[in-house]
Amino acid sequence: MTESPRKKLQIGEILRVEIEKVAHGGHFIARHEGAVLFVRHAIPGEMVEVEVTGVEKSFARANVVAVIEPSAHRMQPPCQYAGRCGGCDFQHIDSAYQRTLKSDVIAEQFARIAKMEVEVVVEEVSSPLHWRSRFAASTNSRGEAGFKAQRSNEVISITSCPVLIPEIDFPTLPIDQVGADKRIEVALSSTGERSVASMNLRTGRTEVRAKPTLIEGGKSLTYTAGDRDYFVSQSSFWQSNISAPEVLLDAVLDFAKLQAGDHLLDLYGGVGLFAGAALPLVGPGGRIDIVEGSVSATDDARRNFDGVANIHVHTGDVAREIKKFKRADVIVLDPPRTGAGKPVIDNLVKLAARAIIYVACDPAALARDTTYLNEAGYHLEDIRSFDLFPMTHHIESIALYTPREVS
Numbered ranges of CATH 3.40.50.150 in the chain = 99-127+242-403
Give residue 4's identity as a one-letter amino acid code: S
Which residue among 79, 88, 161, 361 is the active-site one? Answer: 361
Cα separation, 283 vs 374, whole angstroms: 31
The question of whether 361 is a catalytic residue gets the answer yes
Tell me the DSSP string of 323-359.
GG----SEEEE---TT---HHHHHHHGGG--SEEEEE
Output the pTM of the full model.
Answer: 0.94
- List pLDDT tens digits, range 268-290: 999 999 999 999 999 999 999 99
- List pLDDT tens digits, range 47-88: 999 999 999 988 999 999 999 999 999 999 999 999 899 999
Second-level CATH architecture of 1-74: Beta Barrel (2.40)
Section 249-262 average pLDDT: 98
Inter-residue contact 117 to 110 (CB < 8 Å): yes
Section 396-400 average pLDDT: 98
Inter-residue contact 369 to 113 (CB < 8 Å): no
Among 379, 382, 330, 381, residue whose Cα is nearest residue 356: 330
* The CATH number of domain 99-127+242-403, selected from 1.10.510.10, 3.20.20.140, 3.40.50.150, 3.30.200.20: 3.40.50.150
- List pLDDT tens digits, range 12-48: 999 999 999 999 999 999 999 999 999 999 999 999 9
Numbered ranges of CATH 2.40.50.140 in the chain = 1-74
Inter-residue contact 39 to 62 (CB < 8 Å): yes
Q: What is the pLDDT of residue 82?
A: 93
